Amino acid sequence: MENELLGKFKLVVGMEIHFHLKTEKKMFCSCCADIWEKEPNTVVCPVCLGLPGALPVPNIDAVKKTQMMGLALDCSLNMKSRFDRKHYFYPDLPKGYQISQYKQPLCIDGKLKLESGTVVDIERVHLEEDVAKSFHEEGKTLVDFNKSGIPLVEIVTRPCFRNIPDTVEYCKQIQLMVKYLGIGEADMEKGQMRLEVNISLRTSEQERKDELPKYKVEVKNINSFKFVEKAIQSEIIRQRELLENGITPMQENRGFKEGSMKTVPQRSKEEAKDYRYFPEPDIPPMEFTPEYIKDLKTNLPPTPYMIIDKLEKEIGLSRNNAKTMVEKLGPSYISKFEKLLRMGADPIQTSNLLLNKKEYRNVSEEEIIEVIKNTKTAYSKMEENELNAVIKKVLANNLKAVEDFKKGKESSVMYLVGEAMRMTSGKNKPDPIQLKQKILDMLDSDAN
C-alpha cells in the first residue's frame, strides 16, 4: 500500500521524540514534577512561571537520566555541555524563551538497530524544559502552568527512515527503552511522550545521488503510534499531488487531525536562526569527568533488545515469546519472571503462564511456583530413541552453546532446551523438564 501511495517518489523521514523524565522535581526549580490530575496552576513557582528575577537551578538527576538515554542509544557523551535560550513567543512560554540545548547537547551521534535490520542514525539527545499547556475554547486561550518546567528530553534523528513500518517501530523501541531504563513512563495518554515527524518526498534520481529534498514538513505533537502512520500516509498523498503538479511543498509545521486523519497547516517552519539561540547566562556550562561517565556506563540497565536476546539465547524462549514478554508485559513482569527462574521454575512453562493466564500475573511468586508444580504438562512422552536423536542433532548444530556450557555457563542449557523444543512439533513434544535433564545427562556423558 505504501508503494502505491508513493508512486514514482521515495519517502524520506526524520523523527523528533520528546518524553518527560521521571524526577521528583521540575527541571530548574523545586516544584514537584508529579502534576498528573492536579488542579491547574497549583504546582508552580516564580521560576516555572517565568517571573522576572527568578533564577533557574538545573536538576542533576534529569541530566544524569538524559545521559543514560544517550548511552543506551550508543551516543557519545559530551564532556562539556551547556544550556541555551531558544526564543519564540507563544502563550505557553511567558518569559519569551525556552531553556534548551543547541551547540553543546549532552549526547551526540548515536544509533539504534531495529528488528528489520535498519540502523537509525541518532543526531542528538538533549535536555530542556517543557512549556505550559494551552487550552483553546470559544475563541479564548487558557493556560495551565503545571507542566511548565517538567524535564523534557528530545531525541533527534537524521533523515534516515525510508518506510513507515521502520518509523513506527523506532518510536515503539524508544518508548520501551525509556521504561526499561527506569527514566520515565512515556505514557502518551498523559502527554508524557510526543512524536514529531519530518516528512518529504524525493525522486529516484535524488535517491541515487543521496540528495535530500529542498523542503521538509514537520507534523507536530502526535500522541500515538497509529497516528504517526496515518500522518505520514496523509502527507505522502498531499505532497505527491503537489509535486506531480510541479509545486514544491511549503516548508511548514502541520498538525494532525484525528477526526479526518489528515494534516492541517499551523505555521511556517522555523530555522535555527529564527530562534536566536545564545548561551543561557544564568546557568554555568557543565563539565563531566571520565570517572563520572565510566560510572554511568557501568550502572546502565540492560536495554529491551539485550533482555530479548538473553531470554532467547540464554534462557531458551522462542524469539517471539521473548519479544512478547518484553514488549507487552513490561519491566516489572520481567523482574518477576527472573525471580521465578531463580526459585527453580521452568522458563518455558513460566513464560507461557504469564503470557496466557493474566490472572496469575499479579499473584506472588510462591503461588505461581505452586501452580506450575500442580499443572499437568500438556506434552506427551516422546519415544526414548526419538528424543535422543533430537538432542544429538541440537548439540551438533549448536557447538558454541555446548562449549559455553562446558566453560561453566549453565544458562546455555536453556538455549539448547529451546532449540530442541522448536525441533519437535505436534503431539510428540517432550516435557521441558524431562528434556532439560536429558540434555544435561548427554552433556555429562560427552564430557566423560
Q: Report the pLDDT value the prediction gives residue 106, as an integer from 0 to 100.
A: 98
Domain ranges of the chain: 2-296, 304-447
pTM: 0.83
Confidence of residue 11 (pLDDT cuts 50, 70, 90): very high
Give percent above pLDDT 90 in the chain: 69
What are 253's three cell numbers?
509545521
Say if residue 206's pLDDT is above 70. yes
Over range 264-288, report the average pLDDT.
Answer: 90
Confidence of residue 385 (pLDDT cuts 50, 70, 90): confident
Say if residue 234's pLDDT is above 90. yes
Q: Which residues contact 173 (CB under 8 A, 6 or more apart)?
A: 112, 114, 304, 305
> Residues 429-444: pLDDT tens digits?
666 656 777 787 788 7
> Residues 27-50: pLDDT tens digits?
999 999 999 999 999 999 999 999
Confidence of residue 161 (pLDDT cuts 50, 70, 90): very high
Confidence of residue 74 (pLDDT cuts 50, 70, 90): very high
Over range 12-24, report the average pLDDT.
Answer: 98
Helix (H) or strand (E) holding 151: strand 151-157
**Angle, CA 420 vertex, CA 416 and CA 424 arms, to 5°:** 170
Q: Kindly give the pairing relationship between strand 217-222 and strand 252-257.
A: parallel
- CB burial of 70-108 (b: ≥16 within 10 Å; e: otherwise) equals bbbbebebbeebbbbbbeeeeebbbbebbbbbbebbbbb
CA 1, chain centre distance (Å): 26
Write the DSSP symbol of residue 387.
H
Contact criterion met (CB below 8 Å) for 438 and 446: no
